[in-house]
């Protein structure tokens, strides 16, 4: 089942998603998929960039999409810093890591989506993690 993008006032009120992935092509693809579905996106390629973006947009960011392996820190380390500085938010970890990396994410009861994934699965997971009070 394909869902239609948000439009009009729903798009303006849609929750913002922070995309953190060091792979520029993946970051652009994720941004494009999410924006086509009507979600505003802020993206970053390093944990430091993402913390700065989150600081600037903290009241609007409702979900973090985070790669597990980053050039300056691990994804879980970024989330730890983000939670300490800006409070809890749902997190969806993304990675093409091996089974050990997936096991680590699952062991910590994290939401995990392995790469590669299809657009519909990504959007389904994103929508399932957004607060029910927000339009999506």
Which CATH number belongs to the domain containing residue 116 in this structure? 3.40.50.2300
Kindly state whether residue 110 falls inside one of the protein's structural domains. Answer: yes
Q: What is the pLDDT of residue 9?
A: 45
Model pLDDT for residues 122-133, shown as the tens digit of each residue: 999 999 999 764
Confidence of residue 121 (pLDDT cuts 50, 70, 90): very high
Kindly state whether residue 136 falls inside one of the protein's structural domains. Answer: no
Contacts of 18 (CB under 8 A, 6+ apart): 41, 42, 43, 44, 50, 53, 54, 57, 61, 63, 64, 65
Kindly state whether residue 1 falls inside one of the protein's structural domains. Answer: no
Please give the Cα distance from 5 to 37 (Å, whole number).
4
pTM of the model: 0.82
* Segments forming the whole domain that contains residue 35: 14-129
Q: What is the pLDDT of residue 116?
A: 87
Model pLDDT for residues 10-58, shown as the tens digit of each residue: 455 788 999 999 999 999 999 999 999 999 999 999 999 999 999 999 8
Number of domains observed in the structure of the chain? 1
Q: Judge contact between 123 and 33, C-beta under 8 A.
A: yes
Residue given tokens 């600037």 in the structure block: 56
Distances in whole angstroms, Cα of residue 7 to Cα of each of 14, 35, 79, 90, 130: 9, 11, 30, 24, 18
Kindly state whether residue 2 falls inside one of the protein's structural domains. Answer: no
Q: What is the mean pLDDT of residues 54-67?
A: 94
Q: What is the mean pLDDT of residues 85-106?
A: 74
The number of angstroms, rounded, from the C-alpha of 21 to the middle of its chain's C-alpha atoms is 9
Kindly state whether residue 80 falls inside one of the protein's structural domains. Answer: yes
Kindly state whether residue 74 falls inside one of the protein's structural domains. Answer: yes
Kindly state whether residue 72 falls inside one of the protein's structural domains. Answer: yes
């Amino acid at each position: 089942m394909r869902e239609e993008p948000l439009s009009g006032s729903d798009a303006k009120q849609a929750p913002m998603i922070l995309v953190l992935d060091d792979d520029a092509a993946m970051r652009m693809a994720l941004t494009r998929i999410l924006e086509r579905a009507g979600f505003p996106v802020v993206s970053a390629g390093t944990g430091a960039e993402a913390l700065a973006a989150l600081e600037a947009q903290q009241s609007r960011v409702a979900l973090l999409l985070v790669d597990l392996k980053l050039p300056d820190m691990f994804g879980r380390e970024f989330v730890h810093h983000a939670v300490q500085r800006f409070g809890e938010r749902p997190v969806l970890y993304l990675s093409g890591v091996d089974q050990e990396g997936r096991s680590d994410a699952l062991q910590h009861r994290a939401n995990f989506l392995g790469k590669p994934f299809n657009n519909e699965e990504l959007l389904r997971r994103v929508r399932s993690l957004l607060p029910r009070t927000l339009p999506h």
